[in-house]
Amino acid sequence: MTLRQLPVLDVPRPAVSARPPTAAPASLTEFVTDDLALPRFHVWTLGCQMNKSDSEEMAGALLAAGCAEAASLESAELIVINTCAIREAAEHKVIGRMGALSRLKAGNPALRVVMTGCSVRADNAAALGRRYPAVDLFLRPDEEPELVARLGLASPTGPGSLGRGAPSYQRVGRSLAATAERLPADRAAAVGEGRVARSSLTHAWIPIIYGCDKTCTYCIVPFSRGPERSRPFDDIVEEARALARAGYQDVTLLGQNVNSYGHDLPPEPRFADVRGKRTLGRRLDLDGKPDIAALLRAIDSIGTADGERAIPRLRFITSHPWDLTDPLIAAMAECASVCEHLHLPVQAGDDAVLRRMGRQYTVESYLALVERLRAAIPGISLTTDVIVGFCGETDAHFERTLDLLRTVRYDQVFAAAFSPRPVTPAARLPDDVPLAEKKRRLQALLELQEEIGLERNREWMGRSTEVLVDEVRPQRSHEHDGETRSPAKPGQLRLAGRNRENKLVHLDGAQELVGARVRVRVEHAGPYALVGSLTA
């Protein structure tokens, strides 16, 4: 069987210096078929929740175009790689697969490979073909809604067709970045037409703001995704209503800087009570504009026919200290559906390092935020991101980062060693911490956090917690932390899920519990997960 003929798409491109107009790659013309079978696709997603959400939209568009999902990358006729460029290692993962992809293509000439995500930017088009020789088509994140059309799988007027208007660009540092201007309308259309292939039946993502305006010197996101663009308030609330109708119990609002939501939207009379000025980082006037606090309250108030909250669990990720405002903390404390967990990246525990990182807050101001948060929401679970070995980080600077972990006692820390990213300001700084030392610091930090994580989790021993069961796990004799667990009783499976504090909880139970919220009494605590048994 061969695949469907794809017309050569001579798509007129806007005359901008960043990227000269290109005809569809020659390899696409060979996409011929005699029985009109559509390609089976596989989306390989790397990186953050935003990428996962974008992949759900691309998969939804391909399914709506009539394509079927392949069982695996190896059995697909169309592979979409949604890349992450936040760390060198993430890009090396894809480069490392180019050989295997070329061999797959040699074995199946009809195979097509599309690359998107943060490795594809407005300023690196020319270099991509050389770096990723097995790829036929490169799409920036703002071009992902054109996937089906660029592959010639869309009817001229159908969803995903090219009538999206021209892309717009904005200078970021010394580069030109494509903006996310068109994405809010695409998302509304995809949701409205049921073209989001959600990857879970219990938990759903809602992107609310695209791009990033911040100034972190090590970060590629502003260059790959452009400045912050918020979605219209009502589109988001309507998407939440639709998820509630579909029975979703756990919904996460998404953004590279989710709590910056709304600052770029026009003020409206209905938000007259939103008052505020950003006090950290780049000053902003937020008066009369929708903000994330208003959004949380609106979604929290969506009710069922019998007066219950339609979405029992509401989360948001990733927050930035600049926009952790008092109104947001108040909404977190007062909205029953908002879960008792916050991910608040700190990145380092020393002011000189934070300055070189361009984070524009101090350790003291960050700790003051943590104090206000814990005062308003006692027992809230806190997680963070840390980069070790950043340019100029001394032993003393690093020790202060360890001190910060001892002070805050996070529930979990996602840590990585600094790797310079192209076009970022930090790429022009001396990368002067030797790799071996970066690895030593990373190991030391992870060991310390493992101790703290275990202490934090031990505080749950004997307590009852609500778990949304969302997966069946393989039976293993030894758990993560080397503990042995007696095999599950006959008819029982190893189940797992998360509590409202976003802690991973293992339990035994029947298959029917998947998708249910159950009470679990915690009987064992490891540094990364809890184990317990059903109480009701």
Question: Which residues in this chain contact ligand SF4 in the complex, by CB under 6 A?
Answer: 212, 214, 216, 219, 221-222, 256-257, 320
Which H/E stretch holds residue 402?
A: helix 395-408
Instruction: Note whether 205 and 234 are within 8 A (CB).
Output: no
Task: State the minimum distance, in angstroms, from the CB of residue 331 to ligand SF4.
Answer: 21
Measured from the CB atom, is 388 or 525 closer to ligand SF4? 388
Measured from the CB atom, is 354 or 507 closer to ligand SF4? 354
Which tokens sit at 460?
């749950």
Task: State the minimum distance, in angstroms, from the CB of residue 321 to ligand SF4.
Answer: 10
Q: Rg of the Cα trace of the chain? A: 24
Spell out the residues 6+ positions from residue 514 whose beta carbon is closer than 8 angstroms to its own: 202, 469, 470, 471, 472, 495
Measured from the CB atom, is 46 or 212 closer to ligand SF4? 212
**Alpha helices (H) in 65-175, listed in sequence order:** 88-95, 98-107, 125-131, 147-150
**Alpha helices (H) in 80-120, listed in sequence order:** 88-95, 98-107
Measured from the CB atom, is 223 or 398 closer to ligand SF4? 223
Which tokens sit at 485?
């667990």
Task: State the minimum distance, in angstroms, from the CB of residue 359 to ligand SF4.
Answer: 8
Beta-sheet strands, E only, within 389-490 = 412-417, 464-473
Measured from the CB atom, is 200 or 215 closer to ligand SF4? 215
Which H/E stretch holds residue 508?
A: strand 504-509
The SS3 of residue 45 is strand
Task: State the minimum distance, in angstroms, from the CB of residue 209 to ligand SF4.
Answer: 11
Task: State the minimum distance, in angstroms, from the CB of residue 211 to ligand SF4.
Answer: 9
Measured from the CB atom, is 256 or 325 closer to ligand SF4? 256
Phi, psi of 298 (to 5 degrees): -65, -45
Residue 145: closest CA among 61, 218, 72: 61
Asked if the peptide bond before residue 22 counts as cis, ω within 30 degrees of 0, the response is no
C-alpha span between 524 and 536 (Å, rounded): 18
Beta-sheet strands, E only, within 52-208 = 78-83, 112-117, 137-138, 169-172, 175-178, 203-207
Task: State the minimum distance, in angstroms, from the CB of residue 217 to ligand SF4.
Answer: 9
C-alpha span between 508 and 495 (Å, rounded): 6
C-alpha span between 209 and 221 (Å, rounded): 13
Measured from the CB atom, is 104 or 216 closer to ligand SF4? 216
Phi, psi of 254 (to 5 degrees): -115, 145
Q: Is the dihedral of CA 311, 317, 323, 329 positive or negative?
A: positive
Tell me the CA end-to-end span of the chain in Å, nearest whole number: 53
The SS3 of residue 219 is coil
Measured from the CB atom, is 319 or 449 closer to ligand SF4? 319
Phi, psi of 41 (to 5 degrees): -115, 160
Task: State the minimum distance, in angstroms, from the CB of residue 299 to ligand SF4.
Answer: 23
Measured from the CB atom, is 4 or 214 closer to ligand SF4? 214
Q: Do β-strands 175-178 and 169-172 pair in parallel, antiparallel, or remain unpaired?
A: antiparallel
Task: State the minimum distance, in angstroms, from the CB of residue 221 to ligand SF4.
Answer: 4
Measured from the CB atom, is 116 or 318 closer to ligand SF4? 318
Task: State the minimum distance, in angstroms, from the CB of residue 426 to ligand SF4.
Answer: 11
Measured from the CB atom, is 146 or 350 closer to ligand SF4? 350
Helix, strand and coil percent figures for the chain, each rounded to 5: 35, 20, 45
Task: State the minimum distance, in angstroms, from the CB of residue 48 to ligand SF4.
Answer: 9
Please tell me the total number of residues recorded for the chain in this structure.
536
Task: State the minimum distance, in angstroms, from the CB of residue 433 to ligand SF4.
Answer: 19
C-alpha span between 76 and 41 (Å, rounded): 5
Measured from the CB atom, is 191 or 280 closer to ligand SF4? 280
Measured from the CB atom, is 229 or 320 closer to ligand SF4? 320
Spell out the residues 6+ positions from residue 483 whose beta carbon is closer than 8 angstroms to its own: 524, 526, 531
Task: State the minimum distance, in angstroms, from the CB of residue 517 to ligand SF4.
Answer: 32
Task: State the minimum distance, in angstroms, from the CB of residue 214 to ligand SF4.
Answer: 4
